[in-house]
Structure 1
């Protein structure tokens, strides 16, 4: 975990790097930005080797931006799409395994934040 501080030395947020071994084609690694109050600022992939045109769409803004600005204890994957709750993430069509692995990784980062920073 990396701690980000403002000019006054106050904690502004955290970056937590996580890996999920649940991906369709192997490990999915990403970094999760979390503000000091627990709100997800965004995710960025450091390893994503999923199927082109399917699981690789997890890196598209349409999928990964669903996490941004949400403060929750846990995200859930909605395979059917059309989510209305902030903590529900719509799966990439045809890539529910990859989508689920990303959700699991982000949830692991939230758990780590809760146990070590909150």
Structure 2
């Protein structure tokens, strides 16, 4: 019997110069390529602010953390902003434990984009 494959859904929303990618499901090795494609497509549009909304993820692996850090590096190199929305669950704990919430622009789950926590 084979194990069910991880599922990742990505919604794109654009408004007020911000491009929001809202990820739901699992971000792991099985879904990483799809997430990378979505982030690369968003970066190619060169939005002033790219928001990665990870608050809907049920699971994020180390590859997902790396994806965020690479997106942050790319945004800094291009003189643009990257912000993340982590929510209050497992994803937030992962970034807290790694000490990354102090290095990233973290938005509150319920606040408008651009309102850091």
TM-score normalised by length of structure 1 = 0.32
